[in-house]
Every structure is written in C-alpha cells, then in structure tokens.
Amino acid sequence: MTARTHACFRFLSSALNLVPPLVPPHQSNSASVSSPQQSAFALPKIMSTRGATVYGVLLLFFNTLFLASGGALVVLSALLLSDTERVLLSRLLLLSPEAQRSYYPPFYYAALAMGCTGLAGCTTAFLGYWGACQKRKGLLGTLIGLLAILLLGQAALVIVLCTLPVGAKTLFGIGGILESKTLTEVLQVNFGSPGHELFTAAYDLAQYTFKCCGVLGSSDYEASWWRMQELGSREMRVPLTCCYLDNLSSDARAFLDPVPHNNTVCQAPDAKVNKIERFQQGCLPSLENWFTTQWTYAAGIVAILFGLQLSVFFSAIALCRRLPSRRRQACANSL
C-alpha cells in the first residue's frame, strides 16, 4: 500500500470523527415527546410534596398538643380520685331517692370517665404520629375515623345533657343542687338517719368548709329527723360542724371529729347568744358557687379537648388529600 493510500485513509477517518452519530428517527421522536411529559408531571409532584410536608408538620404539631391533653386528663383523673373531700361533696348532687342509692358520688364516675378519655386520646395521638410519619392513607383514614367517632360521641353527650328534663338532671346529679326546697327536704329527712351516712358526712364537710349551717340557715334543723329523734343529744340543736371549732385549720378531716370552741353557747336557743359561736349563713349560696366553678372547669376542659380533636381531624384530612394515590405515584415514578 502506497503512501498516497495511507493519507486517504487518515483523511477519511478524521472526517468520520467530525460527523455526529446518527440517531434513528423513532428514538428522536420518543425523546422529544418524553421531555414535555416529564415536565408536566414534575410541577404538580413538587407542589403536592410541599403541601404534604406543610400539612404533615401541622398534624404533628396539633397531635402533640392532643397527646399532651390526653396525658393531662389521665393526671387530672388520678388527682380527682385522690381528692376525697371534693368527691364527697359531689354527693350532695344526688337529691332524688333513686340517685341516692348510688354508692359512689358523681365526681367518682367523672374521674373514671376522664381517665378513659385521656387514654383514648393518647392512643389516637400515637396513631396520628404514625400516620404523619409514614404518610400512608390507610393509617390516616383510620385516624380520621376514630376522631370522627370521638367527636360525634362527645357532641351527642353534650346535646343529651343539655336537653334532659329537670327530673332526669336531678336523678343523674346534674343541677338540682340549686333548688333550695329540694335540698332542705333531703337534709331534714336524710341527715343523721341510718343508711345515709355518706350524705351526713358530705353535709358536715360542706358546713365545715364553707363556714355555714343548714341550707338557708340553722333553723332548717328544727324540723329535721335528726333533731326530732334526738340522734345527737337532747341539748343539741345543730350539728357540731355548725359551730366555730378548735380543730386546726390544716386538718382537712376535722368535719369527722369536730371540737367546738364553746358548744354551750353554740347550742343556745337564743339567736342573740348563739350567733357568737354558730355560723348564721346557710350553705346554699356557697354550694351554688362551688358547683358552678366545678362545671366551669369541666366545660373548659371539654372545649379545649374538642378544639384539639377538630384541629387534628382537619389536619389529617388535609394531609390525606395531598398524598398521591398508589397508581398516580407509580405512574410518576416510571416517567
């Protein structure tokens, strides 16, 4: 092969290297088509991811508050069960004969209900954490269903309690304590009588705590079964808890063993004499204020819990709507 032939081969080789490789027509068309599809799916996917992240953070935030409220309810339940004086005072809510047959006071059942609600809230909150972290529609759907059941149950309970007739409210220990006539009749019949020891202790506690006597005054005991049967003694006109006591103020159980400062003056029939050692005001105003405060606390707790449940509920719905379905996610990943 001559030198001229070698030069021709070198020229052709250099010329072929300068020419770009040919692309088949079908490959070129597919490449040109796939690029717009990828760009069409990219923007909604980015927006959906950002929305899911924002609502996921909101769900975690409200869920943390919900978990804290559930734990607080469990702690409050334990504190209420240990507060025997508060629970015993709630015995005065049971005024009807049917309600008085209940062995436990209303606040005892309220504490148990509070504890169960707190445990249910904590369990639901843990499910919310799981769903927010995993971002799975199945877990979020379960969370939404549980919250819907809790919200509907609480709303139904509030509606039932608000629409109960007066007789049913008295039976279940809701209201009734404000009716002076009913409370006076119950006091005159049940105080000190056999089988009503818990009511007697509860009213002794009320008189000792609020520094009062009777319902409207000490004269309520004049026609009482306790006075006519002389269950205390012949000289006693009012219970010892109606008198100023020598017991220490820090002694929370002084109502069970009261020591009057001057029992002779306290039991004197003349009001000008006994007012020095006997409480003159009735217990009804103090009991009204005390029970109103308790119901206000309960309403505040229910309102806060209801608001947190609604926040978690709508946050879970918003996050669930932002999450792509499996079919859409598989289609986006394949492109």
Chain segment 163-195, per-residue pLDDT in tens: 655 555 554 445 445 678 888 998 999 998 888
Share of the chain above pLDDT 70, in %: 73
Tell which residue, 110, 45, 107, 27, has the closest CA to residue 330: 45
Q: Tell me the C-alpha distance between 275 and 225, whole Å.
A: 23
Q: DSSP assignment, residue 324?
A: P
Lowest model confidence (mean pLDDT) among 96-110, 136-150, 152-166, 305-319: 152-166
- 232-286 pLDDT, tens digit each: 677 789 999 999 998 887 787 889 899 999 999 999 988 888 889 999 999 999 9
CA distance 71 to 60: 16
Taking the whole predicted model, whether its pTM rises above 0.75 is answered as: no
Tokens read off for 95 = 């005024």
Q: In Å, how far from its chain's centre is CA 291?
A: 18
Q: Give the pLDDT confidence of 88-117 residue by residue, as tens digits.
A: 998 888 877 777 777 788 899 889 989 998
Q: Amino acid identity of 55?
A: Y
Strand partners, 47: none
